[in-house]
Amino acid sequence: MSALLPAIVPAACRATAAVIFLHGLGDTGHGWAEAMAGIRTPYIKYICPHAPVMPVTLNMNMAMPSWFDIVSLHPHAEEDETGIKRAAESIKALIDQEVKNGIPSHRIVLGGFSQSMISRNKDISVLQCHGEADPLVPFIVGCLTVEKLKVMLNPSNITFKTYSKMPHSACLEVCINQGCFLFIYIYKYIAILLFRIQ
């Protein structure tokens, strides 16, 4: 069976940047596409792919949309390396398609909720948001992830935002922070380009 086509929020004008946003376990891209429509800007295309349906060990092997299998939420649990690589390849295919569509790779942003990936680009900018009241992915896991990212990437490019009463969800403050992050990350290249032209 072929993969579902991603939910897409087109740019109001010609797309010069793209955001690829990955949903969490058991979800689809549709809800996140609706959320992205709320922070839509004229030149950004939002792409919200759907994970394949597969049995998830953590959830008693119930079949659900998942980017890869999750064995446990313990910070040192075994990881589904094959599934993670397969998911990374499918996301890379989306990136390659956007580059073919004329969007430069430095204007493509990857984002996600709960289950997500990381790039090998050491200079990538990262915004990680985590609710301190998250009962599903404990706050300590978010803190450990940030520490691991600081080893893998340029630590000065990592922003960790926490939200004191937020559970395993998003809120208006998260959306505002994401919108600001996108504006700074994507539009800083326009400012650099304009400065070089003058």
CA distance 86 to 73: 20
The whole-chain average pLDDT of the chain stands at 80
Catalytic residue among 50, 69, 116, 134: 134
The yes-or-no answer on residue 90 being catalytic is no
Domain range for 38 is 1-115
Amino acid at 144: L
Q: Are residues 88 and 132 in the same domain?
A: no
The yes-or-no answer on residue 134 being catalytic is yes
The yes-or-no answer on residue 105 being catalytic is no
Q: Are residues 108 and 94 in the same domain?
A: yes
**116-169 pLDDT, tens per residue?**
554 445 667 777 788 888 887 788 888 887 888 788 778 888 888 888 887 777
**28-49 pLDDT, tens per residue?**
899 888 888 887 778 889 999 9
Count the helix, strand and coil residues of the chain and give each as a percent rounded to the nearest 5. Answer: 40, 20, 40
**76-127 pLDDT, tens per residue?**
778 888 988 898 899 899 999 999 999 998 888 888 776 555 444 566 777 7
Q: Are residues 52 and 92 in the same domain?
A: yes
Query: Among the three residues 115, 132, 159, which one is the final residue of a domain in this structure?
Result: 115
